[in-house]
Amino acid sequence: MPRRTSQEVSQAESMVLDALTYNRFVAGVQPTRIELGEVSASAKPSDFQELDVRVDSHFKVQCLKSNAQARTFEIDAQLELHFIAANEQKVGQFVCLYHLSYLSVEALSDALLEEFARRNAPVNVWPFMRELVLNLTQRFGWTGFVLPSFLIPPSPEKASDPETASHDAEVVPASKKPRKAKTKA
């Protein structure tokens, strides 16, 4: 069995140190505000008793600003859903934007904030989004649409799939495939 080189050992140690640093950072982060900044929903009237729709979704999370001295940062999370009938007609849409503010015990860095926006902020806001989508789709007289559980994609350096290895802060629900939903008009 070949021995690991000192470079491989130091790389492994730095990866553990990075995980420890990140875990310490997350343990010291407190949410200070969760605000629904924007919500918009619409549905086209329909004569159908039952309508099969495809749901296209886009979920984006990004750190907007940070104050290293005050150790505060703000993140925006936006969800867009487009409900499309079998004939490709758009029958409904949903957009919401949440503003999240945090205070950190630990010092801030771009790398820590990027990872927090990718991994932790979605977990903080996803339950609010699920409830809002369910409530608004029911108010349109549809069967309530339940968002799937949230799956955090792997870190870019751990991802083997080039699609998930991108460095943008975009996060997607557990299923990247368009979902089908039945609505009762």
Q: What is the pLDDT of residue 176?
A: 40
For the whole prediction, is pTM greater than 0.75?
A: no
* Tens digit of each residue's pLDDT (9 = 90 or more) over 47-105: 767 788 899 999 999 999 999 999 999 999 999 999 999 889 999 999 999 999 999 99
* Tens digit of each residue's pLDDT (9 = 90 or more) over 107-153: 999 999 999 999 999 999 999 999 999 999 999 888 889 998 887 76
Q: SS3 letters for 10-74?
A: HHHHHHHHHHHHHHHHHHCEEEEEEEEEEEEEEECCCCCCCEEEEEEEEEEEEEEEEECCCCEEE
Ordered by where they begin, the domains of the chain are: 6-183 (3.10.420.10)
Would you place residue 158 in the very low, low, confident or very high pLDDT band (cuts 50, 70, 90)? low
